[in-house]
Structure 1
Amino acid sequence: MAEPLVFDGVGKIWTRELDGTLKYIDEKINSVMFAPQFAWEKVFGGESGYPFHLTAQDLADTLSIEVPRYSPLLAELSQGAATEQREVTFDENEEGILAASGYKIKAPSKFGGTFVTGSEEVYLKSPEGALTKLAKAATTPTAEQYSITADGTITSDSTNENKNIIVVFKWKKDKGTINGFTGTRKPKPFKFVHRFELINDRTGNPVQVQLTVYKAIGGGTLNVGATRKTPSTSTLALEVLEPDITADNPNGYAAEIIFSE
């Protein structure tokens, strides 16, 4: 079709590794912008202020994607991060009241994890906020000491009852995901597909549209911050690379857009 169309809506995106392995799918995206860029170098000579020749410059096509959610796979695609599935350990701190029966740390049971034995640090907190570190007792604790059970219950001398304590400790889960960012990381190239639907304003009919970038490589800023009452967004700035000629791309197009009404 040759009719002009207004591009609105974002549809969904997915990526494949160059061997065809499906890597990432997302339909909760804010924007996708493919920006082909072509430029000339002007050649001047003689008296005229107009160029007498134009030399084509290197292409600078770009692809930008804004997404409102973090994903370990996005970290791989855009930043070259490593992703591991294995046991994970979290740092934690809690504040509570040291009762006569002691204080039991809450995070391991709350989050379905296991307390890391020996990882704790215990502090008394004064009304002014000053912290006094308690030493771990081998036997019955004194006022400057504490004891802890295997399940994370902390007790101390009776003189410390009803005082505020702060506990810094670690807990772990058997299964978790780790994104690792090294100083030598590099993203790997991939195939990118953006599938969406438009409306033909003249006929009112839906128009099916697909943007395919056959070889792109990641870049941009992946936002992993947290701001109060503000959702985070990440803008990925991808570079378009020279593709290989393959069975699904016999013409060797770097990118193509297809339409069907």
Structure 2
Amino acid sequence: MEPIVFDGVGTVQIYGPDGKLKYLDDKITKVTLQLQFDWQKVMGGDSGYAFHYTAQDLADKASIEIPRFSNILAEIFQGAESEKGTVYFDETEQGFLDAASGYTIKAPAKFKGALVAASDKVYLKDIETGELTELTRVASTPTAEQYVITADGNIKSDASNGNKLIAVTYKWSKEKGTRSGLSGIRRPKPFKFVHRFSLADDRTGNEVPCQLTIWKALGGGTTDVSQERKKATSNTLALEIMDPGISPDNPDGYAAELIFGI
């Protein structure tokens, strides 16, 4: 095979121990495989050269860089537990209390969720000092120190609080949500990693199909869920290469292999 320059990105496929596809992404920014083989020098006599070399354990390094988050990435590389179902959000809002119509919280309607009963707290907020004065929730006919709230999140108080700034804290739920639970005893499960990409043959100009397969890997590295203004995060995920043993798909028991269609 003619020498070829590596400059492709391609797609990433990750398969679970059961062989089912768990993750597929074509927006990756980097895939790294660095094969390393080191020796332990055995010295003796007067010579400055070793007379024997003992092979050390293999120190191959593999990683991928992905500029977006997925709960599946957290599951594969951080051992998170992903759950689908009802999720709960802690919300805060600020707004002015109208003397007649009051103030209606926005998040549940905006995200098609529901206000969690009895989770609300309302505070008068001094515009100049920011000082908060908590109001007491009552069932009806509130005074200047009280408020009422309907099931859909409309807040009213005494007319004397009209046009005053309020801060509201509450919980709301959404039936169709995703939760990534990260415990202190989490451990990722092994997976099969495939990087499918194409390169250019500089001699012919033809596109060359290529594939990197790591038959058994364990996740690690950094799954970044930070937020910084005007900057997107990127996940730098490490793959620990394991001895896969032999299987019908991998009868030679290779740990990793590169395939070129040339």
2:80 — aligned with what?
Answer: 81
Cα displacement (A) at 1:163:
0.3
1:115 — aligned with what?
Answer: 115
1:50 — aligned with what?
Answer: 49
Cα displacement (A) at 1:33:
0.5
Cα displacement (A) at 1:139:
3.2
Distance 1:109 1:18 in 2: 41
Distance 1:139 1:247 in 2: 72
CA offset digits 1:177-222 (Å, max 9, x no partner): 0000000000100000000000011111111100000000000000
Counterpart AA for 2:183: T
* Deviating 4+ runs (over 3 angstroms): none
Counterpart AA for 2:203: R
1:256 — aligned with what?
Answer: 257
Alignment of 1:137-216 (within 5 A): 137-216=138-217
Distance 1:54 1:29 in 2: 39
Distance 1:12 1:186 in 2: 25
Cα displacement (A) at 1:25:
0.4
CA offset digits 1:111-136 (Å, max 9, x no partner): 11011111001000112211111111
Distance 2:142 2:121 in 1: 15
Distance 2:95 2:105 in 1: 9
Counterpart AA for 1:68: P
Unaligned 5+ segments in structure 2 are none
TM-score of the pair, normalised by structure 1: 0.98
Aligned residues: 260
Instruction: Classify the secondary structure of the residue corresponding to 1:33.
Output: strand
Cα displacement (A) at 1:22:
1.1
Cα displacement (A) at 1:61:
1.2
Instruction: Classify the secondary structure of the residue corresponding to 2:75.
Output: helix
1:36 — aligned with what?
Answer: 35
Distance 2:69 2:144 in 1: 46
Distance 1:16 1:231 in 2: 27
Instruction: Classify the secondary structure of the residue corresponding to 1:219.
Output: strand
Instruction: Classify the secondary structure of the residue corresponding to 2:72.
Output: helix
Cα displacement (A) at 1:150:
1.2
Counterpart AA for 1:145: Q
Instruction: Classify the secondary structure of the residue corresponding to 2:185.
Output: coil
1:18 — aligned with what?
Answer: 17
Distance 2:69 2:205 in 1: 36
1:242 — aligned with what?
Answer: 243
Cα displacement (A) at 1:9:
2.1
Counterpart AA for 2:47: S
CA offset digits 1:67-114 (Å, max 9, x no partner): 000001100111011100110011111111100211111110011101
1:94 — aligned with what?
Answer: 93
TM-score of the pair, normalised by structure 2: 0.98
Counterpart AA for 2:69: Y
Counterpart AA for 2:239: L
Unaligned 5+ segments in structure 1 are none
Instruction: Classify the secondary structure of the residue corresponding to 1:117.
Output: coil
Distance 2:195 2:242 in 1: 17
CA offset digits 1:131-164 (Å, max 9, x no partner): 1111112431111111111111111111100000
Distance 2:149 2:230 in 1: 38
CA offset digits 1:33-65 (Å, max 9, x no partner): 011111000000011110000000001112100
Counterpart AA for 2:162: E
User: Aligned residues: percent identity?
Assistant: 59
Distance 2:58 2:65 in 1: 23
Cα displacement (A) at 1:237:
0.9
Counterpart AA for 2:236: T
